[in-house]
């Protein structure tokens, strides 16, 4: 305990021990050996051929963070969270320009709900958490994270090409700066509302974002959805929504989700995307969980051939200890239209497949 207090004191420049200050250090380190065919180490399409890589965050995104709370009396608490992504294969930060790229906020938790201020995941991200067929595994390759949650909008000919909302990036709107979020839970209902300030001088709407989310949860089933609008610096709108459900039948768990987004990218130019997903999980022995999921993505953009892809996943996870999990992951992608594209004037393979053997440690 003495060493724990000393470590926390050095980390937070505070003499308080975690039990006294309510401060916790936590994280995930997830690394896997990955063999790919028709895909690069970054999971982009390639001409046929095999590639091998060491990948971070295949099961769960590698990260580290600090969370804390302090009682203010009367059921009120001050709360905070700082969280940054890690590339565990190289030791670098997930975003070189931000120490805490995933979350950085402070707030008040009360009997009337929670108000948080700072960089936070969007309401689309919150809504996907209980209903994504993979449980948000493999975030960098999961279509619900990339397409429905807008974490990767630069893919191929259907790229958005500009920043919508105050994310700080031109191709990733999964987390937003300058966000005010309110969360209230009443019985089985949970409601959220959020507004992100664009902070463009003289422009109230530019780079702003707003939305609402609603979820209903029972022991055997739940429904979760959200709708949001993002604005570009020029005021162009990006409208997005997501709606999904989860169902438990004995040891079986079924999840499905539908999401759509539409954005104006210029005069008489737009991009539309749709993601339909479904999956199932079931124990396969002591400490073993098997999860299978399918994602169908369809995209349309002004001046381009409609494209998209279908992607299937299989995860087999074995719990070795309360904080340690070994896993095998397999995925298969079929590109539609011209989504596969070209590499150095060579046509990329219309199919991509990969197999991962990995280990995840939580702390």
DSSP notation for 94-126 = SSTT-SSSSEEEEEEEETTEEEEEEEEE-HHHH
- The three-class DSSP label of residue 292 is strand
Average pLDDT score over the chain: 93
Q: What is the pLDDT of residue 363?
A: 97
pTM, rounded to two decimals: 0.91
How far apart are alpha carbons 242 and 130 in whole angstroms?
A: 12
Q: What is the pLDDT of residue 226?
A: 98
pLDDT per residue as tens digits for the range 68-122:
999 999 999 999 999 999 999 999 999 999 999 999 999 999 999 999 999 999 9
The two structure tokens encoding residue 30 = 């997830």
- The phi and psi torsions of 345 (rounded to 5 degrees) equal 70, 5
42-46, 207-211, 307-311: the lowest-pLDDT one = 42-46
Q: Please state the rounded mean pLDDT for residues 209-214.
A: 98
**Burial label, 217 (beta-carbon count in 10 A; 0-12, 13-18, 19+):** middle
**pLDDT tier, 3 (very low <50, low <70, confident <90, very high otherwise):** very low
Given a cut of 80, is residue 244 above it in pLDDT? yes
**pLDDT tier, 21 (very low <50, low <70, confident <90, very high otherwise):** low
């Amino acid at each position: 305990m003495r060493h724990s207090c000393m470590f926390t004191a050095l980390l937070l420049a505070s003499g308080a021990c975690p039990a006294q200050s309510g401060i916790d250090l936590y994280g995930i380190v997830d690394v896997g050996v990955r063999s790919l065919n028709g895909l690069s180490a970054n999971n982009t399409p390639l001409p046929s051929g095999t590639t091998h890589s060491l990948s971070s965050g295949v099961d769960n995104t590698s990260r580290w963070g600090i969370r804390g709370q302090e009682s203010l009396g009367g059921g009120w608490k001050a709360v905070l969270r700082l969280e940054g992504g890690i590339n565990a294969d190289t030791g670098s930060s997930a975003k070189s320009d931000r120490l805490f790229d995933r979350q950085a906020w402070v707030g008040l938790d009360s009997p009337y709900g929670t108000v948080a201020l700072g960089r936070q995941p969007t309401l689309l991200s919150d809504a996907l958490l209980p209903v994504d067929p993979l449980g948000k595994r493999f975030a960098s390759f999961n279509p619900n994270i990339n397409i429905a949650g807008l974490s990767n909008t630069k893919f191929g000919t259907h790229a958005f090409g500009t920043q919508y909302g105050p994310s700080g990036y031109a191709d990733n709107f999964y987390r937003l700066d300058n966000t005010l979020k309110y969360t209230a839970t009443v019985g089985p209902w949970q409601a959220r509302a959020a507004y992100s300030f664009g902070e463009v001088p003289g422009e109230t709407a530019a780079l702003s974002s707003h939305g609402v989310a609603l979820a209903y949860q029972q022991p055997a089933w739940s429904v979760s959805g959200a709708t949001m609008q993002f604005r570009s610096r020029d005021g162009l709108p990006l409208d997005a929504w997501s709606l999904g459900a989860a169902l438990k039948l004995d040891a079986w768990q079924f999840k499905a989700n539908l999401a759509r987004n539409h954005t104006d990218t210029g005069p008489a130019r737009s991009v539309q995307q749709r993601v339909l997903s479904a999956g199932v999980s079931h124990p396969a022995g002591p400490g073993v969980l098997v999860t299978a999921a399918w994602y169908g993505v369809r995209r349309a953009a002004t001046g381009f051939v409609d494209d998209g892809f279908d992607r299937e996943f299989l995860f087999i996870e074995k719990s070795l200890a309360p904080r340690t999990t070994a896993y095998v992951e397999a995925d298969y992608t079929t590109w539609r239209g011209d989504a596969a594209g070209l590499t150095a004037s060579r046509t990329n393979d219309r199919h991509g497949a990969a197999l991962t053997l990995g280990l995840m440690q939580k702390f």
